[in-house]
Amino acid sequence: MKKEILIFRHFPTEGPGYFARFLDRQGIPHRIVKIDEGEPVPESIADIPGLVFMGGPMSVNDVLPWIPKVLHLIREAVAADVPVLGHCLGGQLLSKALGGHVRRSRAKEFGWLPVAAVDSPETEKWLAGLPPRFEVFHWHGETFSIPPGATHILRGRYCRNQAFVIGKSLGLQCHIEMTPELVRTWARDGAAEITRALPAAGVQRPAQMLINLPERVARLNRIADVLYTRWLQGLRR
């Protein structure tokens, strides 16, 4: 496949991380659209096999010039059966584009926290071979609703809606793209934000996030492999 998957980066330190490595192993071309550097949002999904949206500190409810354009692009992609993958802010963009709502979460989540599978046939398809409960990384203060027509597949203790699927698209509130480098950077750069959020059950201190980091990330990568592999099956060829 010569056409490139587009990966939208909304903040310099919230790039594709492990997802880019995964695509490289598969030999799948991809290109980062650097929204944070002012790169334009494509006007059409023509010749685009899939869209991927990463995280960012902004809200999908903020008045930013690129957000309406991205929402339009997502709606066009889903209508044309082109798969969309959203991580955190990206999942919120997918939800809002499809008629869902994004609001402040009742509890912030920063760090390593478990999620659990929501029983359904779609869950079995997307989480095939994974345990019913596993640990992922989180960094968010807002949450999305499950949009009309979508299926809820992952839930959390402090933030119920952690993932949904609709057709070939996957929206995540949590982060499965983490690498050790990303975790260290976020823990360092977000130290002040963490301090403001403490004490809270869903918020870990930077030192807690770094405990057994290589092992935790390796487990997360295996989880990501399952979800990313399933998502790739829907790519427009």
| 2 pLDDT above the threshold of 80 | no
| Residue-level pLDDT at 1 | 45
| Residue-level pLDDT at 237 | 72
CB count in 10 Å sphere of residue 191? 12
Give the mean pLDDT of the chain.
97
CB count in 10 Å sphere of residue 128? 11
Distance CA 201, CA 216 (A): 20
| Residue-level pLDDT at 221 | 98
| Residue-level pLDDT at 218 | 98
Mean pLDDT of 218-223: 98
The superfamily in CATH containing domain 5-232 is Class I glutamine amidotransferase (GATase) domain (3.40.50.880)
Q: Bridge partners of 142?
A: 104
The model's confidence at residue 232, banded by pLDDT at 50, 70 and 90, is: very high
Give pLDDT tens digits for 21-74.
999 999 999 999 999 999 999 999 999 999 999 999 999 999 999 999 999 999
The domains of the chain are located at: 5-232
Return the SS3 of 201. Answer: coil
Return the SS3 of 130. Answer: coil
Give pLDDT tens digits for 121-142.
999 999 999 999 999 999 999 9
Residue 193 is which amino acid? E
DSSP letter for 233, please. T
Q: If you write DSSP's letter for every residue of 65-129 in order, what string do you get?
A: THHHHHHHHHHHHHHTT--EEEETHHHHHHHHHTT--EEEEEEEEEEEEEEEEPPSHHHHHHSTT
| 220 pLDDT above the threshold of 80 | yes
* pTM recorded for the entire structure: 0.97
| Residue-level pLDDT at 94 | 98
Give pLDDT tens digits for 151-191.
999 999 999 999 999 999 999 999 999 999 999 999 999 99
What the block records as the tokens of 224 is 């990501």
What the block records as the tokens of 162 is 């952690």
Return the SS3 of 216. Answer: helix
Return the SS3 of 18. Answer: helix
Return the SS3 of 36. Answer: helix
| Residue-level pLDDT at 173 | 98
Give pLDDT tens digits for 94-109.
999 999 999 999 999 9
Distance CA 133, CA 139 (A): 19
